[in-house]
Structure 1
Amino acid sequence: MRRVRAGRRWVHVGNLDLWQRSLGFAALGFLTLVPLLIVVSAADPASGRGFAKWLGDGLGVTEAARGDIERLFALPGQTLRTTTAFGLAVLAVFGLSFGAAVQSGYEKVWDLPPACWWARWRHVVWLAVLIGFLFLSAITPLWQAAPARGVITVLSGTLFFWWSQRMLLGGRVSWVALLPGAVTTMAGQLGLRVFSRLVFSPLIASSAVTYGPIGTVLVVQSWLVGVGVVVLGGALAGRLLQDELPRVAHALKRRR
């Protein structure tokens, strides 16, 4: 754990802690969020290939790599036939721990104590909005057909990460202070998409040939680790920017 000076305060920057939290983010995302999204996407008859189509689009990989990803998941009709109410309830319960993990990371970034137990309802709201946002942004044909889809995705993603910090932190940090973190997180997601196309896309193709479906699973899991690094690292970068920008602006004024 090392500390970085930001203005008059010290911000804890734990590289190992960030990596461990990103691994937890990936594990919870693959075990809880992914199954929930599979069921949600399968419920829409117009979604076609369902969640697999969204995942390939989210990674930004080539058509050949998307085919390998689609072979990992069941068809939408089969998914609905094999889904039970108990299974959905279990996924929902464990899915709340996903929101708790993200909240804990945000609290570490802002040096805040853990929220009270009765504030767990925020995890329910955040998880529901997250699933709805991913469904609308990547699966719904209406959104996909929008002429300015790229601009809409960037703006809506920035708003979502901005709102997510505010919601999970329980309003303990102002909207203005959270804005840099939302912008840096979205910028990181765009960078991860480019990296995925350059690295993960050929890696999926080679892993599928060498190891079969398990090779594709490992690449997808690695991508989720990258998403966790971006989500938590973006918030941390935003915190540092929020603390440093006033000091830099003051120093520039003094030089003039």
Structure 2
Amino acid sequence: MESSGDRQGASLGRRLVRRLRTAAGGRPGDGGGEQELMARSMGFAAMGFLTLVPLLIVLAAADPTQAASFAQWLSRALSASEEARLEIRQLFAPPRRALRTTTSFSLAALAVFGVTFAATVQTGYERVWELGPARRDTSYGRVLGGQVLWLCLLTGYLLLFTNTPLRRQDVVSTPHGTAAAIVITVLFLWASQKIALGGRVGWTALLPGACLTAAGLLGLRLFSHFVFSPLIVVNAVAYGPVGAVLVVQSWLVAVGFVVYGGALAGRILYEEGWRSRSPG
């Protein structure tokens, strides 16, 4: 016989699925919300590529004995095979060469792209929570400061994981390493949402989204090992370096979809869970 707890859980599950479908698909039959989520994911991928590639190359060039190159970081993020690693390494300049060719103009461009990327992520989170632009409620300087703080947080997170050794034969490191990575990722995503939203949403409300996004990124890493990694090799053979770049861009689109989709699912889970516990 079904218990009341099982019935409540099933009812919550149905409400979550219904709200996710509504949020992802917009009005019935128009697909507007789904198109917006995909468009924002593509914007995330475009600005992420312009920001992450030069950022990690410059960081690796500044201290090549400690920091991993962008190719190494990307290989780890994709759980790439040895063949895919070779193709990825051929796409990006070695760290020492990048340092010699880095100019003040390129550093300034990197800063501009970084702040624009932060603004893109901020807008995406604001749309998830149906909030107006932060600059309506506070000064531009404070908004810019939040974006710079978010970019510094992202840089620290990337440095932490580019300097963490992973065993090549494992899809996701050791069990203890995987658990630690998930916890650190949850904390990063939790703080990331808080900073990007300018503190307009409480910590408790942001936690489900951080947990779901971290779980989604772990699933994406497993998916990448079996799908994106072979595609890099196949496309590199068929189309040359541009084929591998297209796969990397597709992976970044998937990352953006998980980031925004996880935050949206977390918001719905928080609201529906709170409603189910509320009296009446």
* TM-score, normalised by the number of residues in structure 2: 0.81
Q: Does 1:96 align with 2:115?
A: yes
Partner of 1:28 in structure 2?
47
Partner of 2:106 in structure 1?
87
Q: What is the CA–CA distance in structure 2 between the aligned matches of 1:106 and 1:113, rounded to whole Å? A: 10
Q: What is the CA–CA distance in structure 2 between the aligned matches of 1:191 and 1:162, rounded to whole Å? A: 18
Q: What is the CA–CA distance in structure 1 between the aligned matches of 2:186 and 2:76, rounded to whole Å? A: 18
Q: What is the CA–CA distance in structure 1 between the aligned matches of 2:179 and 2:51, rounded to whole Å? A: 29
Q: What is the CA–CA distance in structure 2 between the aligned matches of 1:105 and 1:48, rounded to whole Å? A: 30
Aligned-pair distance for 1:249?
4.4
Unaligned runs of 5+ in 2: 1-13, 25-32, 167-172
Partner of 2:9 in structure 1?
none
Amino acid of the structure 2 residue aligned with 1:177: A
Q: What is the CA–CA distance in structure 1 between the aligned matches of 2:105 and 2:157, rounded to whole Å? A: 24
Q: What is the CA–CA distance in structure 1 between the aligned matches of 2:59 and 2:214, rounded to whole Å? A: 24
Aligned-pair distance for 1:64?
1.1
1:29-83 CA distance string (max 9 Å, x none): 1112221111112222224761111110011111111111011011111010010
Aligned-pair distance for 1:12?
4.5
Q: What is the CA–CA distance in structure 2 between the aligned matches of 1:5 and 1:111, rounded to whole Å? A: 19
Identity of aligned residues (%): 54
Give the 3-state SS of the residue equivalent to 2:227 in structure 1. helix
Q: What is the CA–CA distance in structure 1 between the aligned matches of 2:260 and 2:146, rounded to whole Å? A: 18
Amino acid of the structure 2 residue aligned with 1:18: L
Aligned-pair distance for 1:149?
2.3
Q: What is the CA–CA distance in structure 2 between the aligned matches of 1:51 and 1:43, rounded to whole Å? A: 13
Amino acid of the structure 2 residue aligned with 1:29: G
Alignment equivalent of 1:72, drawn from 86, 91, 107: 91
1:69-126 CA distance string (max 9 Å, x none): 0110111110100101111111111210101011101111111110012312111111
Query: Retained in 2: the 8 A contact 1:49–1:70?
Result: no
Partner of 1:144 in structure 2?
165
Query: Retained in 1: the 8 A contact 2:67–2:159?
Result: no
Amino acid of the structure 2 residue aligned with 1:154: I
Q: What is the CA–CA distance in structure 2 between the aligned matches of 1:21 and 1:246, rounded to whole Å? A: 28
Query: Retained in 2: the 8 A contact 1:65–1:204?
Result: yes
Give the 3-state SS of the residue equivalent to 2:65 in structure 1. helix
Give the 3-state SS of the residue equivalent to 1:184 in structure 2. helix
Query: Retained in 2: the 8 A contact 1:123–1:168?
Result: yes
Query: Retained in 2: the 8 A contact 1:22–1:226?
Result: yes
Amino acid of the structure 1 residue aligned with 2:69: G
Deviates more, 1:111-120 or 1:21-30: 111-120
Q: Does 1:208 align with 2:232?
A: no
Aligned-pair distance for 1:241?
0.3
Q: What is the CA–CA distance in structure 2 between the aligned matches of 1:207 and 1:12, rounded to whole Å? A: 34
Q: What is the CA–CA distance in structure 2 between the aligned matches of 1:131 and 1:48, rounded to whole Å? A: 12
Partner of 1:241 in structure 2?
269
Q: Does 1:51 align with 2:70?
A: yes
Q: What is the CA–CA distance in structure 2 between the aligned matches of 1:184 and 1:133, rounded to whole Å? A: 18
Alignment equivalent of 2:130, drawn from 100, 105, 111: 111
1:196-241 CA distance string (max 9 Å, x none): 1111111111111111111110000000000000111110000010
Partner of 2:205 in structure 1?
177
Partner of 2:27 in structure 1?
none
Q: Does 1:121 align with 2:142?
A: no
Q: What is the CA–CA distance in structure 2 between the aligned matches of 1:87 and 1:53, rounded to whole Å? A: 22
Query: Retained in 1: the 8 A contact 2:81–2:229?
Result: yes
Q: Count matched residues.
A: 244
Aligned-pair distance for 1:16?
0.7
Query: Retained in 1: the 8 A contact 2:60–2:69?
Result: yes
Aligned-pair distance for 1:5?
7.3
Amino acid of the structure 2 residue aligned with 1:213: P
Distance verdict in 2 for CA 1:35–1:174, change over 3 Å: same
Q: What is the CA–CA distance in structure 2 between the aligned matches of 1:12 and 1:204, rounded to whole Å? A: 33
Unaligned runs of 5+ in 1: none
